[in-house]
Structure 1
Amino acid sequence: MSGVEGFIETWPEAIQPLTRRLREIALAAAPDVTEYIKWNAPSFCVDGDDRITLGLERSGAVRVVLHRGAKAKDAAGFVFDDPMKLARWAAPD
């Protein structure tokens, strides 16, 4: 097995189910999502732009990184709705 699934299999078994579930969610988010390994992590793109990266740690921690792109964008009107306060959005860029 190669690609993202093969990469997931190299991680401790305890982290694999959560990683696979997050992968399923990312792939189902839009019909044109593609996946690959970038930054030594499963990453998901739409139209060639990175949108989600799963930051895996051998300790079992998983970070879900939501990208808005590397180039500065106008942040006016940017809203990240998180009524349960589960996420920390460092900056609107």
Structure 2
Amino acid sequence: MQMAIIAEKIRMLQEMSDLFKSGQTPEAWSEELSVHGVHVSPRLIRTKARETGHFHKLGRLMLLTPAQMERLLESTSGEREITKRNLP
């Protein structure tokens, strides 16, 4: 039991370290994606992150890691497929 608690604390510390090393705001992700020709507004990123729960919040600051952005994109790719199928 004690080892499980220690392992969980270590995992949380590693996650926080990743957050500070690679976490970015929705505005920064929007800019980074636009460089690659993908135009997504910070507002849309923020909305989808809240809907899926894939984000960290520090006070009023929202940060997303690359892994969270990947999960966010994966979770919204199914919506696009459904929309495309329903089009005439």
Would the TM-score normalized by the shorter structure come out above 0.5?
no
Answer 1 or 2: which has greater helix percent. 2
Answer 1 or 2: higher relative contact order, Cα 8 Å, separation at least 6: 2
* Larger fraction in strand: 1
Larger Rg: 2
Give the structure-1-normalised TM-score.
Answer: 0.31
